[in-house]
Chain A
Amino acid sequence: MSKIGVFVCHCGENISATVDCAKVAETAAGYDGVVYSIDYKYMCSDPGQSLIKSAIIEKGLTGVVVASCSPRMHEPTFRKACAEAGLNPYMCEMANLREHCSWVHEKGDATTEKAIDLVRILVEKVKKNHSLNAIKVPVTKTALVIGGGIAGIQASLDIANSGHKVILIERDPSIGGHMSQLSETFPTLDCSQCILTPRMVEVAQHENITLYTYAELESLEGFVGNFKAKIRRKSKSLDEKICTGCGQCTTKCPVKKIPSEFNEGLGKRTAIYVPFPQAVPNKPVIDRVNCTYYIKGKCKVCEIVCPTKAIRFDQEDTIVEAEVGAIVVATGFTVKQPDFFPEYGFGKYPDVITGLQFERLASASGPTLGEIRRPSDGKVPEKIVFIACAGSRDPAKGIPYCSKICCMYIAKHAMLYQHKVHGGKSYVFYMDIRAGGKMYEEFVRRAIEDDGVNYIRGRVSRIYEKNGKLIVKGADTLLGAMPVDIDADMVVLATAGIANEGSEELAQKLHTSYDSYHFFSEAHPKLKPVETNTAGIFLAGACQSPKDIPESVAMASGAAVKVACLFSQDELTREPLIAVVNRQAAPVFSSCVGCFLCVSACPYQAIEKEEIKNRTGEVIKTIAKVNPGLCQGCGTCVAFCRTKSIDIQGYTHEEMYSEVMALLNEY
């Protein structure tokens, strides 16, 4: 037999001004099962709470209804109070008399009647409530970080430094990502590699970090705190343990004409190669697509020259299985290959290049050792044109968004050019200059004012070659769209930042959502920027949308903290408001008939098959089972189940049904 206590709050004047609280309490006292009912000025105040606590103890209440503000406001407060008095917190419900009644209606009988109804609804619900205990799930205190760019590196280091194990996987032979390709960085113009490489080394040496380069995520199962990841380590055709990274093989390799990915095709590399001098790990891999041995079946020069006999031509991919508790996705972005700008002649004219290529030209470790020389003939360009928003902010090109980083790096590029090529002329075609950020606007002004970069507000319609010059046909909208023709030696396109290839596929492996541009979706655009909708999976860096370095690093540290929080507890406690499949005694076991239509209704892949076996181990029935770690408690399966075999704690069939009954009937 229920003993319900009803506590009506005046909220100062907030409720009592329009609702007759005494009458509400009085009426509630008349309901079957209500043994205590009182109104009070401030239920959330200490005296208010002790009112509830003492009633629980003295009257032996089995349920509490607090009629005050929105549960979204004070539910935790009152549930805690109940718990402190020894009542299960989930036996406490709140009737929303303030936001849903007193504040939205005028004083009067109708308002008080509504308040009474709202209380009665919850009195009847709480009678059907069950004591619930928070769900505990164990945590594997190892994080998986996917992607070894600056975001992945930062996240790995922060997690590792907080004392937890990290597995960092990188698709390429070396970590470093795009940042390692950059020359200088805005707005300070310090050398990108100089600030990055120490971090890369730290990762390689950190005792808490296991680094797998040339590796990708094969599959992921499980749930927050308890993921099982399969990692494919692509064969490097090399025994890393005995390779000393001496470099003999790479110097001797006969295949020397392969465009270097690291140099964005502006430089060449060999078939067995280390992507760049400061690579981590600094050990080569064989690119089987281009290696003569794998193509023709003979050569093996590298094997011959290798002093430690580390080459393994027959080496196969290996699958590493890892148990991890959390995952940070830091797979970064890529730039649109602007070959879809026929009008800009990319690919047709070697001297029309991308921003990332310019970085390589400007970089001391680049193909030109930092001198700005155009790819076609190595001549130093006297006139250079930078085109912003090549693809970005152009719905027609399928990229309506702003790539965010271009305005800044163009300014940087122009500046670097001016510094390196004295007397050179540089022009920037732009739509708007977006230089939000600390010292950013100043940086752009510096480019314009101190370094004399010519900014022209307008678009470029086309580029064509005319006696050795690239004619850039544009317009200056600030001068009434006056046509501008520039005979440039080189053109740099600030091509749009887009989602990395395969990001969609990865998102599906991870069961996280992605946006229409295939960037990973955060759980909430404002309040959960690093979380995903899948508990335990976090985002860092440009995989979520184009970002500059400081943002990526900040986001990475944010994600790392989320992971650290997760790992700070031995068990995760979760709200027990989740779905459960009923179980009954044999021979029924459950009313579930195992049609598993609920599986597709579940947004979280939380529904599994459970086989009920008899003593001899043969399966007598297969029913659905909700994984408490994965279920987020939406209840979509509950409304869908034909046999009503799934129910959701806190919003059960009985609870919701009695609410409707209570609402419309006399009690």
Chain B
Amino acid sequence: MADFEPKIVAFVCNWCTYAGADLTGTSRIKYATNVRIIRFPCTGRIDYMLLLKAFDEGADGIIVSGCHPNDCHYTSGNFHARRRWIMFRELCDFVGIDINRVLFSWVSAAEGSKWADVVNTTVTRIRELGPYTEYQKVAKHPIREVTNG
């Protein structure tokens, strides 16, 4: 899979991880180019449907990251998020979605190097797993002329 460049979407909160990623920048720490960040106000805002959409549209991996427990700018958004993730992750596993492709993390505004590390670990992991063809086959499934049978 040398020529395989994973597409990875990162859903992050504005106050901790986004700021943390900014710090990675200001500290000029280098990391893989495969990740694209989408900014949310809080991990509590991250809709599980968006994770599915990312896979639908061809993402090979997903990072979801926010404030450490007790650090949430909104006091408890991340606690709510955590509970949802716990359940949603179980469900995904049960329907056979490859949960190794979704990496959850807490990255604070002060953890610039951790962000770089999170990105690099994810990219390495996804490289090993390869493109998520299993899902994409279903997602990009050409609408069959006759869908029964």
Q: Which of B21-29, B94-102, B141-149 contacts A (4 or more CB under 8 A)?
A: B21-29
**CB atoms of B44 and A636 under 8 A apart:** yes
Alpha-carbon distance A659/B81, docked complex (angstroms): 20
Q: Which residues of B contact A118 (CB under 8 A)?
A: 36-37
Q: Which residue of B lies closest to A637 (CB)?
A: B44
Residue of B at shortest CB range from A94? B39
B22 CB contact (under 8 Å) in A100, A533, A601, A638: A100
CA distance A659 to B47 in the complex (A): 13
A114 in contact (CB, < 8 A): yes
* A72 shortest CB reach to chain B, Å: 6
Given contacts A104-B29, A651-B41, contact A657 B36 (CB under 8 A): no
**Closest chain B residue, CB of each to CB of A70:** B22
A634-B44, A660-B54 in contact; A104/B28 too (CB < 8 A)? yes
Which chain B positions have C-beta within 8 A of A635?
40-42, 44-45, 77
* A105-113, A251-259, A442-450, A565-573 - interface stretch: A105-113
Verify if B19 is at the interface (C-beta below 8 Å from A): yes
Shortest beta-carbon distance, B27 to chain A, in Å? 9
A656 touches B38 (CB 8 A): yes
A651 near B54 (CB under 8 angstroms)? no
Flag A237-249 by CB within 8 Å of B: 1 or 0 each: 0000000000000
Which partner residue on chain B sits nearest A633 by CB separation? Answer: B41
CB of B63 within 8 Å of the partner chain: no
Q: Are A638 and B45 in contact (CB under 8 A)?
A: yes
Alpha-carbon distance between A98 and B44 when the two chains are bound, in angstroms: 27
Is there an interface contact between B47 and A103, defined as CB atoms closer than 8 Å? no
- Pair A114/B36 contact, Cβ less than 8 Å: yes
Taking residues whose C-beta sits less than 8 angstroms from the other chain, chain B's interface range is: 35 or more
**Chain A min CB distance to B136 (Å):** 11
Report yes or no: B53 in contact with A639, Cβ–Cβ below 8 A.
no
Please tell me which one of the listed residues B9, B44, B50, B73 contacts residue A657 in the complex, with CB atoms under 8 A apart.
B50
* A111 contacts across to B, CB distance below 8 A: 33
Chain B positions within 8 Å of A110 at CB level: 5, 33
- In the bound complex, how far is the Cα of B30 from the Cα of A106, in angstroms? 8
Q: Considering the chains assembled together, what is the distance between the CA atoms of A570 and B120 in angstroms?
A: 51
Which one of A70, A117, A636, A661 contacts B45 once the chains associate, using CB atoms below 8 Å?
A636
- A577 on the B face (CB < 8 A): yes
Which residues of B, 36-71, contact A by the 8 Å Cβ criterion? 36-42, 44-48, 50, 53-54, 57-59
B-chain residues with CB within 8 Å of residue A73 when the two chains form the complex: 22
Partner of B9, one of A601, A638, A660: A660
**A577: chain B residues within 8 A (beta carbon):** 41
Report if A640 contacts B (CB, 8 A): yes
| Minimum Cβ distance to chain A for residue B94 (Å) | 20
A272 at the interface (CB under 8 A from B): no
Chain B residues with CB under 8 Å of A99's CB are 21-26
A603 contact from B29, B75, B84, Cβ within 8 A: B75
Bound-state Cα–Cα, A297 to B40, Å = 66
Which residues in chain B, 1-33, are within 8 Å of chain A measured between CB atoms?
5, 7, 9, 18-19, 21-26, 28-31, 33
Assess whether A636 is in contact with B74, with CB atoms less than 8 Å apart: yes
A101 to chain B, nearest CB (A): 8
Most buried by B among A100, A105, A634, A659: A634
When the two chains form their complex, are residues B74 and A104 in contact, meaning their CB atoms are under 8 A apart?
Answer: no
Is B47's CB under 8 angstroms from A634's CB?
A: no
- A640 to B44: give the CA distance in the assembly, Å: 8
Instruction: State whether the Cβ of B80 lies closer than 8 Å to any Cβ in chain A.
Output: yes
B5 to chain A, nearest CB (A): 8
Complex Cα spacing A648 to B40, Å:
11
Chain A hits for B57, CB < 8 A: 660-661, 663-665
Q: How far is the CA of A96 from the CA of B24 in the complex (A)?
A: 13
Q: Which B residues lie within 8 Å of A104 (CB)?
A: 24-25, 28-31, 116
Q: Is A156 an interface residue (CB 8 A)?
A: no
For the complex, what is the distance from the CA of A433 to the CA of B36, rounded to whole Å?
52
Name the CB-closest residue of A to B47.
A639
Closest residue of B by beta carbon distance from A118: B36
Cβ 8 A contact of B47, one of A114, A656, A664, A665: A656
Which listed residue, A96, A513, A636, A650, touches B77 by the CB 8 Å rule? A636
Q: How far is the CA of A665 from the CA of B57 in the complex (A)?
A: 7
CA distance in complex: A634, B76 (Å): 9
0 or 1 for each of A265-284: is its CB under 8 Å from B? (1 = yes)? 00000000000000000000
Q: For residue A460, give the distance in angstroms from its CB to the closest CB of chain B.
A: 36
User: What is the distance, in angstroms, from B28's C-beta to the closest C-beta of chain A?
Assistant: 6
Which of A577, A638, A639 has the most CB atoms of chain B within a 10 A radius of its CB? Answer: A639
Decide if A601 touches B53 in the complex (CB within 8 Å).
no
List the B side residues contacting A648 at CB < 8 Å.
41, 45
Q: Mark A492-524, 1 if CB is under 8 A from B, else 0.
A: 000000000000000000000100000000000
Is A121 an interface residue, CB under 8 A from the partner?
yes
- Known: A99-B24, A117-B36, A632-B74. Is A660-B41 also a contact (CB below 8 A)? no
Residues 105-148 (chain B) with a chain A CB within 8 angstroms: 116
Smallest CB–CB gap between A478 and chain B, Å?
A: 38
Residues of A within 8 A of B30 (CB): 104-106
Within 8 Å CB of B81, what residues of A? 636, 639
| In contact, A663 and B28 (Cβ under 8 angstroms) | no
Residue in B7, B39, B46, B77 whose Cβ sees the most chain A Cβ within 10 Å:
B39
Once the chains are docked, how many angstroms separate the CA of A113 from the CA of B26? Answer: 21
Count chain A CB atoms within 10 A of each CB in B19, B38, B53, B81 and give the residue with the most. B38
Chain A contacts for B77, CB-based, 8 A: 603, 634-636
Shortest B57–chain A CB gap in Å is: 4
User: Contact: B59 with A634, CB < 8 Å?
Assistant: no
B14 to chain A, nearest CB (A): 8
- Most B Cβ at <10 Å: residue of A96, A513, A656: A656
CB neighbours (8 Å) of A657 from chain B are 50, 53
B25, A98: Cβ atoms closer than 8 Å = yes
Most buried by B among A103, A104, A114: A104
Q: Which of A101-155 contact B (CB under 8 A)?
A: 103-106, 110-111, 113-114, 117-118, 121
Partner of B40, one of A98, A105, A603, A651: A651
Which A residues are in CB contact (< 8 Å) with B5? Answer: 110
The interface residues of chain B lying within 8 Å CB-to-CB of A656 are 38, 40, 47, 50
Instruction: Please give the distance in Å from B118's CB to the nearest CB on chain A.
Output: 13
Q: A100-B25, A105-B30 are in contact. Are A664 and B54 (CB under 8 A)?
A: yes
The CA of A632 and the CA of B9, in the complex, are separated in Å by 26
Contacts of B24 in A (CB 8 A): 99, 104
**In the complex, A217→B133 CA distance in Å?**
62
A650 to B39, CA, bound (A): 11
How near does chain B come to A519, taking the closest CB pair, in angstroms?
A: 15
**A639 — which chain B residues lie within 8 A by C-beta?**
44-48, 81, 84
In the assembled complex, 7 residue pairs joining A and B whose CB atoms fall closer than 8 Å, in A order, are: A96-B22, A100-B22, A103-B28, A105-B33, A648-B45, A656-B40, A659-B38
- B residues whose Cβ falls under 8 Å from a Cβ of A: 5, 7, 9, 18-19, 21-26, 28-31, 33, 36-42, 44-48, 50, 53-54, 57-59, 72-77, 80-81, 84, 116
Besides A70-B18, A72-B19, 16 other A-B contacts (C-beta < 8 A): A72-B22, A104-B31, A106-B30, A117-B36, A632-B74, A634-B41, A634-B44, A634-B72, A634-B77, A635-B77, A636-B74, A636-B80, A650-B41, A660-B54, A661-B53, A664-B54
A-B pairs with the 5 shortest C-beta distances? A635-B45, A99-B25, A636-B44, A634-B74, A664-B57
